[in-house]
Amino acid sequence: MPMPAPLGLVDPLLILAAQALDDLEATRIANENRLRSLRDVYGLAGSSQEAEAAGLVDGLKALEHQAELSLKRALRSHPLGPWVKRTVGVGEKQGARLLFAIGDPYWNSLHDRPRTVSELWAYCGYHVIRTGQTNHDSQRAFVGAEQSPGGGDSGQGPCSLRAFDVAHEGSAGVAPARARGQKANWSADAKSRAWLIACSCIKQETSPYRAVYDDGRERYAEAVHQVECRRCGPAGRPALAGSPISAGHQHARALRLVSKAILRDLWIEARAIHTAVSV
């Protein structure tokens, strides 16, 4: 009989606080731009109208700050809060927003069953598209195919990043990209949150993910393109297969490894909570 997902890993308060923060942040940014127009385009700097508009923006900032505090409080009472707190570089704000974007890292709510770590990667857009597949619609080709929930987490078992990557080195592949006019079957928000956390982690020498990044840069230092690459070529002239990948592309690949490592460790922590609940 399937084990039900514990409600504590999908916290309604965290969801509400994260949505409120997103809404207020977007509204605050939009109105800051309007305020800038008042000052620069209409020449109203120092006027009473400018002061009134600035007061509105300040009010939005205060509301946004309150929403952020609520989000952090919700995270601190969340079962995965301790993992976020002890993991250098993740941060409460971004860690909570990542949890909002992915829900329960270990549970597939659509099919009401545990999900594999590769499913979590695919949900967050960190899967691989084999050459010849439609660029935006590749998730189903890899979801759940390589890893099993019982895999090890020592870095050598089927849940390790290297094991997952080596499994795909035999065939050329590319990272998924959103296509205009087509709906991606992975979460752009989850991918963005994981990426921002990865960027934060590599800035911290004491973060466990700094070594993952450094290893990735070394690993890709001599890498060449397996297929044409628009990232490394000028507009309309993609870099050819067999050409070296650029330093910027090496950086992006290493950050991708960090993002996947963060998601893997979050999945492992969530799996441990589920296991403890079922005992």
Q: Are residues 107 and 211 in the same domain?
A: yes
Predicted pLDDT of residue 143:
33
What is the per-residue pLDDT for 140? 37
- 74/113 same-domain check: no
What pLDDT score does 178 carry?
A: 59
Structural domain includes residue 83: no
Residue 219 lies in a domain: yes
Same domain, 111 and 202: yes
- Name the domain boundary from 17, 44, 78: 78
In this structure, are 71 and 105 located in the same domain?
Answer: no
pLDDT, tens digit only, all 279 positions of the chain:
344 444 558 999 999 999 999 999 999 999 999 888 888 887 777 788 888 889 999 999 999 999 999 999 999 999 999 999 999 999 999 999 999 999 999 998 888 899 999 999 999 999 876 655 444 433 333 333 333 333 333 333 434 454 444 333 334 566 666 556 656 578 999 999 999 999 999 999 999 999 999 999 999 999 998 888 887 878 788 888 888 999 999 999 999 999 999 999 999 999 999 998 776
Same domain, 219 and 147: yes
Q: What is the pLDDT of residue 191?
A: 95
- From 78, 113, 131, the end of a domain falls on 78
Q: What value does the mean pLDDT of the chain take? A: 81
Say what the pLDDT of residue 170 is: 39
Cβ atoms < 10 Å from Cβ of 182: 11
At which of 78, 101, 118 does a domain end? 78
Number of domains forming the structure of the chain? 2
Q: First-to-last CA distance in the chain?
A: 14
Tokens 């620069």 label which residue? 40
Residue 238's pLDDT is what? 86
On whether residue 84 sits in a domain, the answer given is no
**Is residue 120 situated within a structural domain?**
yes
Domain housing 99: 89-278
